[in-house]
Amino acid sequence: MKIKNTFLLIFIIFCFISCQKNEKDESIIKNIKIDYSKKLISKISKNGDFINSNNFHKFSLKAKEINNFLNSNANIHIIDLRSGKDFSEGHIKGAINIKFGELFDYFLSRDIKGFDKVIMVCYTGQTANYAKSIMQLQGFDNVYSMKFGMSAWNKKFSEKWENGISDKLIGKLENTNNQKSSKKKLAYFKCKKSSETDILEIRVKKLLKDGFKKAIIKSIDVISKENEFYIIHYGNDKIYKNGHLKNAIFYNSNLSLKTDLETLPNDKTIVVYSAAGQISASVVAYLRLLNYDAKTLKFGANNFMNKALKEEAFSEKEINNFQFETSEYIEDEGKVEEGGC
């Protein structure tokens, strides 16, 4: 009987120790933080990391180039992101109207990679650049956008850009060469999945669901509140040296993990602007994918120093007189997505 009791005692002690060990192991596993940001960056890099590549600027096409493609019967596919009503009142021949939030499903339902070029079109080019960049980060390397949007296609659609330009800050801009912040931790986010592919897909779907309006800000909401933001002038050092928004810092093709990505704050809104808001929209897509609170400045520097931009200014010469089609408008009973700007 003593022997039985001894074995029973040993068995109980063994079970207790094993349970304690298992609980400890499970606790360690639960407390391990997966570095989702670095996993996402790794996947973006495998997909070409086009935001930080030398090809970055080649994915924005002028209206004339696209019109030439149409006349040559090139293998292109045009996606118009404007509202259904505006699309019906005038669009490029052959274009298809897709809601911003439905892009991911549409891309998966079509042989998108079978086209030489898939061209995103919107009102001013800013929404299209944002959408194009999201889908390129997902791995579609044949996606382009039309510079200045439908405003450049025909005078009928140019009102948004014509009303978006001004010279209100010429003579009031700063010339200080502001320095980048010291290195910080990357923006952090949690994810239900742990594989690089799944993390990217989840983040892409989130950005498309959020829409473009969360990613854009007007200059009136930034000027005089510059200290509240981390402002980035992106892309052209000559323009930066000639005058920039107060506290703005110059960056150019250097937002990879190996360069200056870690200089960005993860606890402050980042406002990015380029000459026309096209490039900055693409940069903001990349930053928001990584969970930074980033916004592109509407109409870019054209909104406050148009004449000073010279060759990068929006002007009448950018507006063409290309043909367009109209179609019947069937009102959508569901949520209407205007496509930003």
Check the CA dihedral 58-64-69-70 and report its sign. positive
Closest CA to 78 of 48, 63, 201: 63
Residue 235 — left, alpha, or beta (φ > 0 → left; ψ -120 to 50 → alpha)? left
Q: E strands within the chain?
A: 60-61, 76-80, 96-97, 117-121, 143-146, 216-217, 230-234, 249-251, 270-273, 294-297
191 carries an active-site annotation: no
As a whole number of angstroms, the distance between CA 264 and CA 267 comes to 9
Calculate the dihedral angle through the C-alpha atoms of 62, 67, 68, 72, rounding to the nearest 10 degrees: 140
Residue 230 near residue 271 (C-beta atoms within 8 A): yes
Residues 6+ apart with CB under 8 A from 185: 262, 266
Residue 245 near residue 232 (C-beta atoms within 8 A): no
As a whole number of angstroms, the distance between CA 78 and CA 119 comes to 5
Residue 98 — left, alpha, or beta (φ > 0 → left; ψ -120 to 50 → alpha)? beta
Which entry of 15, 19, 122, 191 is annotated as an active-site residue? 122
- Active centre residues (catalytic): 122
